[in-house]
Amino acid sequence: MSGAQSGLYGSDRSLLSPSAVRLLDRGVLKWVIAITAALGAILEVIDTSIVNVALPDIQGNLGATLSEAGWVSTGYACANVVIIPLTAWLSNRFGRRQYLLFSLVGFTASSALCGMSANLPMLVFARVLQGLSGGGLLAKAQSILFEAFPRWEQPAAQAIFGIGVISGPALGPVLGGYLTDTLGWRWIFFINLPFGILAVLMTIVFLPRDRRQDISRDRVDWIGIVLLAIGLGCFQTFLEQGQEDDWFSSRLIVCMAVGTVTGLALFVRRELTIDFPAVDLRALRYRALSAGSLYSLVLGMGLYGVIFAVPVFVQDYLHYTAMQSGILQLPSALAAAFAMILMGKVSGRVDARLLIAIGAVITVAAALMLATINPDTSPMSLYVPLFLRGLGSPIMFLPLSLATLGDLPKDKVASGAGFYNLTRQLGSSIGIAVITSTLSYRQAVHRAVLVVHEGIGSPDLAARLGRLRAALSRVSSDPVGIRMRALKLLDVGVDQQSLLLSFADIFMYVAVAFTLSLPLLLLLGRGRNATAATAHE
């Protein structure tokens, strides 16, 4: 048998269904399992962004405020980050196949519950269930691929997984906008049902059953699980609600900060001192996992931060609809899919650190181009940097996954994949929180500078006022009204200019962050995939 056949499947064909045995004999079962695992991961990734464009409709339909409707996203994100690091323990406790099935069934059922929700509390509750079940799909899919494929086939297998992870956040708003505009917001959840059912059936038919001896019977670290839930739940809430509640001026945010520090500190201490930890933090002693996870945090902040910032910019400044904003990012998604396929062939033959550095340079170039935005920015001028962003992401993502997880011992892959995916998810949340706060702060700074620069007595101000008053005098003869409207229009113009400058700052900061993080690559190894690929050939 091949590495995949002897790894995930073992030598016991009785663990396989008759259909799986036939595919195994043809040598394609591992690829069918890769598609099965990737399908669940794609559903989860798309669902993290598909809801955002529908929040105004949800708010109006369920009679909620925008702040209350925001918990539809916050509840999902909190549940998601809590469950991701527990996926390795849950898989060991209940079995790889059983846990994946539970996650898929739970995700599909909770999607149906979301679509049928009659009020906001029911919808938030269903979204929490969806986050708890969906969080396991991402890390579990990646660990299954590492266990199912030999090293020389890892790049191609991870490319299938990576296409969804990279392109999902860009496709989510497009799909969400279309479904919301044509069928209603409930269909952003109902759309999961056929694909979820398909993934469940494929898992039942093609994934091998778990052997009893592979299922752990160790004691359950309930205290560790509770501490993790408190720490990460508070941290995600802190990030999601901080800007809206004006950070530490809010008692809720202060409580979340205290809960984050206390919960995570006690969690780390407990997990490093007991024999049956819920999360195996000892796996971080592997330098590649530690460095790769840290770089994954930066990657999540930068890449998903840009994905968040661009739609906000085109909708707030260029007045695009949600649908138009999503379509604008389609070239980026297509570029990501192309680059991921290319990386599937190249990774394993080229030093992973070199590929990540190339991807980082491309991303820096894209961010610098976005930093040149101005009042004349058009869709065509955004396509090129967004295309480069889509191209650079997989060039970093796939080699980083291989360099981080590829050399871990088999028994550490699941826990390593959980921690690695957690850092990327947290990086996304941190990046969005930082960008939101920085936008508000930098807009205020730029507005203050513009107001001083164009204060009373400024020739530019007088000239602009003169032009506005001349234009308004064509439709009104009231001099006081004309002056007031001209001043108001000028004030709006200052706001728009300061908003534009603050977005330019954000993209510049992303470029700087990726540049400063490059030394982390020195802590990563070359990976043994290249050696394995050569040996296989």
Average pLDDT of 492-509?
Answer: 80
**For residue 347, what are the β-bridge partners?**
350
Provide the 3-class DSSP secondary structure of residue 347: strand
pLDDT band of residue 536 (cuts 50, 70, 90) is very low
- Measured in degrees and rounded to the nearest 5, phi and psi for residue 164 equal -70, -40
* Closest to 446 measured CA to CA, from 489, 506, 487, 486: 506
Chain-wide mean pLDDT for the chain?
Answer: 78
User: Residue 161, class by beta-carbon neighbours within 10 Å (0-12 exposed, 13-18 middle, 19+ buried)?
Assistant: buried
Q: What is the pLDDT at residue 238?
A: 86
Q: What is the pLDDT at residue 2?
A: 40
* Closest to 359 measured CA to CA, from 316, 405, 402: 402
Provide the 3-class DSSP secondary structure of residue 26: helix
pTM: 0.72
- Measured in degrees and rounded to the nearest 5, phi and psi for residue 321 equal -80, 170
In angstroms, rounded to a whole number, what is the distance separating the alpha carbons of residues 409 and 3? 15
275 DSSP 8-state letter: S
Of 133-137, 166-170, 283-287, 351-355, the poorest mean pLDDT is in: 166-170
Convert the pLDDT of each residue in 416-454 to its tens digit: 877 887 888 788 777 777 777 787 788 888 877 766 665
Residue % of the chain over a pLDDT of 90 = 10
Is residue 146 within 8 A of residue 98, CB to CB? The reply is no
Average pLDDT of 345-357?
Answer: 82
pLDDT band of residue 197 (cuts 50, 70, 90) is very high
* Closest to 279 measured CA to CA, from 330, 358, 357, 223: 223
Of 132-141, 171-180, 399-408, 470-479, the poorest mean pLDDT is in: 470-479
Q: What is the pLDDT at residue 160?
A: 73
pLDDT of 145 higher than 90? no
**CA 69 from centre of chain:** 20
Average pLDDT of 370-380?
Answer: 77
In angstroms, rounded to a whole number, what is the distance separating the alpha carbons of residues 110 and 137? 14
Is residue 173 within 8 A of residue 326, CB to CB? The reply is yes
Of 47-56, 114-123, 135-144, 479-488, the poorest mean pLDDT is in: 479-488
pLDDT of 534 higher than 50? no
Average pLDDT of 510-519?
Answer: 86
Q: What is the pLDDT at residue 468?
A: 53
CA atoms within 13 A on the CB side of 504: 13
Convert the pLDDT of each residue in 150-177 to its tens digit: 777 777 777 777 776 766 766 777 788 7
254 DSSP 8-state letter: H
pLDDT band of residue 90 (cuts 50, 70, 90) is confident
Which residue reads 């009104």 in tokens?
476
Average pLDDT of 326-349?
Answer: 77
How many angstroms separate the Cα of 309 from the Cα of each of 75, 418, 500?
21, 27, 12
Largest separation between any pair of C-alpha atoms in the chain: 90
Of 2-6, 63-67, 470-474, 500-504, the poorest mean pLDDT is in: 2-6
Who has greater pLDDT, 246 or 504?
A: 504
How many angstroms separate the Cα of 438 from the Cα of each of 183, 351, 402, 444?
36, 36, 33, 10
Is residue 288 within 8 A of residue 407, CB to CB? The reply is yes
Q: Where are the alpha helices (DSSP H) in 207-329?
A: 222-241, 251-271, 287-299, 305-316, 322-328
In angstroms, rounded to a whole number, what is the distance separating the alpha carbons of residues 144 and 180? 34
Provide the 3-class DSSP secondary structure of residue 308: helix
Long-range (24+ apart) CB contacts under 8 A made by 193-201 are: 193/108, 193/111, 193/112, 195/39, 195/43, 196/43, 196/104, 196/105, 196/107, 196/108, 196/111, 197/108, 198/39, 199/36, 199/39, 199/40, 199/43, 199/104, 199/108, 200/101, 200/104, 200/105, 200/108
Q: What is the pLDDT at residue 137?
A: 83
Convert the pLDDT of each residue in 467-487 to its tens digit: 555 555 655 665 655 556 655
Is residue 498 within 8 A of residue 446, CB to CB? The reply is yes
Q: What is the C-alpha end-to-end distance of the chain, expressed in Å?
A: 17
pLDDT band of residue 213 (cuts 50, 70, 90) is low
pLDDT band of residue 463 (cuts 50, 70, 90) is low
Q: What is the pLDDT at residue 533?
A: 35
Is residue 86 within 8 A of residue 228, CB to CB? The reply is yes
**CA 468 from centre of chain:** 45
> Which range, 340-349, 353-362, 472-481, is most confident?
353-362
Who has greater pLDDT, 500 or 219?
A: 500
pLDDT of 277 higher than 80? yes
- Measured in degrees and rounded to the nearest 5, phi and psi for residue 347 equal -60, 145
pLDDT of 105 higher than 90? yes
Convert the pLDDT of each residue in 7-61 to its tens digit: 454 446 777 888 888 888 887 888 888 888 888 888 887 877 777 777 778 878 8
pLDDT of 71 higher than 80? no
Name every residue whose Cβ is closer than 8 Å to that of residue 50 and which is 6 or more positions away in sequence.
Answer: 172, 173, 175, 176, 188
Average pLDDT of 395-416?
Answer: 80
